[in-house]
């Protein structure tokens, strides 16, 4: 069985691109920690939105759906699950809530991972949760013609308990030494977890829940306010491609962690950037709704779409957004780019 000695591998990951991402995230964290502490009440709405988006996106990646209304009711615990999909959504909701509320008291150990997996499936009618895989599994991919092929063969079922134990022990040892930046160590752990693929079902969703747990325990709590799972779902083609690149040669300990680590750091950095923009909206909440929209576009260095405006100003109606955009175009405060569904807007910084 392969070893999980992170101390001999992490320095190879300090590429210029990864170092730049680490620097960005550290700066974001420092800037926003004080705001989070001082304005916790203002962020309540962001927490609720992120919980809904995270539950939806992480399940959607695995082909698990329900209607928007049912999803919101399930996440808010206002209804009981009616289908198997809704049972799995409700299970994810509960594990996500546990991590949000108790992350400081949830060490990453094999028995904890099993408990979280058990809770992920606690609404199921059969006993699948909280147990390692009983048979060997493979990760398959399907081409456009429907032909399936084996993309990766994980650790054998009989080796799985020992592999998970070794992975958790080595992660704790590396974190305890304090030499490796947790932002590098966490995606390395997640990649190894996915390559072990310890469960018959739910490996992907567990990996995303563990990502949040490890980030929170390391002090990076942006996922409470901005859905990291949604950012992954929106870029899932890149997610799977980078995962594939970094898993080649894994059994022989020759795999390259860089593609997956860089991808995950990019997701975390994007979450912090999104959080900054939403904080800007909260700070300007005393302004009128049209002025808030104008302020958002002005503070966006680059293009922004109507849907992005509505996502960041969720208390403002679509009609108000449309009217404000029309008024800003007429006054030449903004510039329209493209047309139809691809329309984007930029602030006119050359206007005197």
Query: Cα(127)–Cα(242) distance, rounded to whole angstroms?
Result: 33
Q: Where are the beta strands (DSSP E) in the chain?
A: 139-142, 148-152, 334-337, 344-347
Query: Cα(343)–Cα(304) distance, rounded to whole angstroms?
Result: 9
Please write the tens of the pLDDT for every residue from 238-286. 999 999 999 999 999 999 999 999 999 999 999 999 888 777 766 666 6
Please tell me the pTM assigned to this model.
0.83
pLDDT at 281: 67
Which residues lie below 8 Å from residue 93, measured CB to CB, with a gap of 6+?
A: 51, 55, 74, 75, 77
pLDDT at 351: 73
Ranges of residues in the chain with a pLDDT under 50 are 352
Q: Which CATH class is domain 288-347?
A: mainly alpha
DSSP state of 39: -
- Can you identify the CATH homologous superfamily of domain 6-279? Fido-like domain (1.10.3290.10)
pLDDT at 284: 63
pLDDT at 278: 77
Mean pLDDT for the chain? 90
For the chain, which residues make up each domain, given as ranges? 6-279, 288-347
pLDDT at 170: 95
Query: Cα(45)–Cα(208) distance, rounded to whole angstroms?
Result: 22
């Amino acid at each position: 069985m392969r070893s999980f000695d992170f101390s001999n591998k992490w320095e190879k990951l300090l590429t210029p691109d990864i170092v730049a991402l680490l620097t960005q995230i550290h700066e974001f964290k420092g800037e926003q920690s004080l705001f989070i502490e001082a304005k916790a009440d203002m962020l309540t709405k962001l927490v609720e939105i992120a919980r809904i988006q995270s539950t939806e996106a992480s399940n959607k990646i695995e082909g698990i759906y329900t209607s928007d209304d049912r999803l919101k009711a399930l996440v808010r615990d206002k209804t009981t699950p009616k289908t198997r999909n809704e049972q799995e959504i409700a299970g994810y909701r509960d594990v996500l809530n546990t991590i949000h509320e108790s992350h400081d008291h949830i060490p990453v150990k094999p028995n904890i991972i099993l408990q979280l997996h058990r809770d992920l499936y606690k609404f199921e009618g059969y006993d699948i949760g909280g147990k390692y895989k009983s048979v060997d599994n493979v990760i398959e991919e399907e081409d456009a013609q429907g032909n399936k092929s084996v993309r990766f063969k994980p650790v054998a079922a009989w080796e799985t308990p020992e592999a998970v134990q070794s992975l958790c022990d080595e992660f704790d040892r590396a974190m305890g030494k304090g030499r490796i930046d947790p932002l590098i160590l966490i995606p390395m752990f997640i990649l190894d977890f996915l390559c072990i693929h310890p469960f018959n079902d739910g490996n992907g969703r567990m990996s995303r829940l563990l990502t949040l747990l490890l980030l929170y325990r390391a002090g990076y709590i942006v996922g409470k306010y901005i859905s990291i799972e949604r950012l992954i779902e929106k870029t899932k083609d890149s997610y799977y491609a980078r995962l594939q690149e970094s898993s080649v040669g894994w059994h022989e300990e020759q795999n390259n962690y860089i593609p997956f680590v860089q991808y995950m750091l990019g997701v975390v950095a994007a979450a912090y950037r999104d959080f900054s923009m939403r904080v800007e909206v909260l700070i300007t909440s005393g302004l009128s709704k049209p002025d808030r929209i104008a302020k958002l576009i002005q503070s966006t260095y680059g293009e922004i779409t109507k849907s992005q405006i509505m996502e960041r100003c969720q208390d403002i109606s679509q009609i108000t957004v449309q009217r404000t955009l029309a008024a800003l175009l007429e006054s030449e405060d903004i510039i329209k780019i493209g047309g139809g569904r691809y329309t984007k807007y930029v602030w006119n910084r050359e206007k005197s």
